[in-house]
Amino acid sequence: MPDLIIKPTATSGNKVIIQDQAGGAVLTTADSGATLGNSTQDNITRLGTVTAGAIGSAVTGFTGIKEFDQWRITSGFAGDANPITSNYERNDGHGSSGGFSKLGTGMTESSGIFTFPSTGYWYIHFGHNHYSTGANRYCFGNILLTTNNASSWDTFGLAKFHISDIGEYAHTSAHHMAFFDVTDTSTHKVAFRIHKDSGGTAVTTNGETGDNSTYMTFIRIGDT
């Protein structure tokens, strides 16, 4: 059968409006193109497969990954850091191969406190590497979360470790994670801590500018 063509009379501003049973405009034409949706139907469903285009980081109601970021410590330090406050950089890849690019806006960091670019449920991973030559080798790491803009902190993702005393350099690593419901980016923030035992001054936390030795990963996994 021939095509069925519906269009308004040829006068600027005339429209074709298709309504749902509630009287809301599901499709409204313009002089060029058309608008889908209405005040009673904020999300259009069953559109089929979207084969091209991009979903911006500010889009809501979509649970796919829109933010991914990774940072690391560029130089090592001995003993405590509560929190780690300096020598951060965003992952810029490994040597000439590169291999990393943040997705979305990305995190911001100031004096070791990280601010989220948007609200939502966030996955946070903290990996840290250490070595020691001394006898006192107990240490632990924390993910620190605040919901009151750093007035107080809650401890998440505790990872304790011990480096065997073999009389020379010995290495270990620890990894832990937290899920954080960020409902306000001005108050909900994250920092990272390394703490030694009372005599563990010989424990050093590794840092590298070309590799992820001590690093933090941030992934927004859904809307809050």
| Lowest mean per-residue pLDDT among 14-18, 76-80, 91-95 | 91-95
The predicted model gives 163-184 an average pLDDT of 83
Residue 40: predicted pLDDT = 47
pTM summary value: 0.71
Distance from C-alpha of 134 to C-alpha of 142, rounded to nearest angstrom: 23
Query: With 60 as the cut, is the pLDDT of residue 209 above it?
Result: yes
The predicted model gives 57-65 an average pLDDT of 66
Percent of the chain past pLDDT 90, that is, above it, reads 42
Query: With 90 as the cut, is the pLDDT of residue 142 above it?
Result: yes
Distance from C-alpha of 122 to C-alpha of 105, rounded to nearest angstrom: 14
Read off the tokens for 20. Answer: 């749902």
Query: What does pLDDT average to over the chain?
Result: 83
Query: With 80 as the cut, is the pLDDT of residue 201 above it?
Result: no
Q: Which residue has the higher pLDDT, 29 or 62?
A: 29
Q: Which residue has the higher pLDDT, 42 or 98?
A: 98
Task: Choose the CATH number for 67-222 among 3.40.630.10, 1.20.58.110, 3.40.50.2000, 2.60.120.40.
Answer: 2.60.120.40
Residues of each domain in the chain carrying CATH 2.60.120.40: 67-222
Per-residue confidence at 12, pLDDT binned at 50, 70, 90? confident
